[in-house]
Amino acid sequence: MATDAPPPSKEERPLPSAEEFSEVQQSAEFAELRRSFRSFAFPLTIAFVAWYLLYVLLSNYAGGFMGTKLFGNINVALVFGLAQFVTTFLIAWWYSRYAAAKLDPKAEAIKSRMEGGA
């Protein structure tokens, strides 16, 4: 398996101290990383939980609607249930792209600085 990463260094680097971790945690750069993550993850989590609860509530209290046949033996409940899986995979794919583009570069910059690479 080929990678673009350089081979690991034979030289041992000291691990960052607790004070260095605390300093980075208080930095504006780390705060920006957390803000970027939260501004993406929290709204999507709330939206998905609301979508899931809507499905559960409709299944419990709107049986007539959920039992409505769309075509053949396919009803609204089945379509909504399958849409739960589709939205789960779409959110995971979207997060993966977002993390690779926005979060990973920021995290890598912090990590390299912590490890003494910058």
Taking only the tens place, the pLDDT of each residue in 42-72 is 999 999 999 999 999 999 999 999 999 999 9
Instruction: Measure the N-to-C terminal CA separation of the chain; round to a whole number of Å.
Output: 28
Residue with tokens 């680097």: 13
pLDDT at position 8, please?
A: 62
Q: What angle do CA 52, 58, 62 make, to 5 degrees?
A: 175
Q: 71 CB contacts (<8 Å, ≥6 apart)? A: none
CA–CA dist 114, 105 (Å, integer)? 14
pLDDT at position 2, please?
A: 58
Q: Tell me the pTM.
A: 0.75
pLDDT at position 114, please?
A: 85
Q: 112 CB contacts (<8 Å, ≥6 apart)? A: 118
Q: For the chain, which ranges sit under pLDDT 70?
A: 1-3, 5-13, 117-118
pLDDT at position 79, please?
A: 96
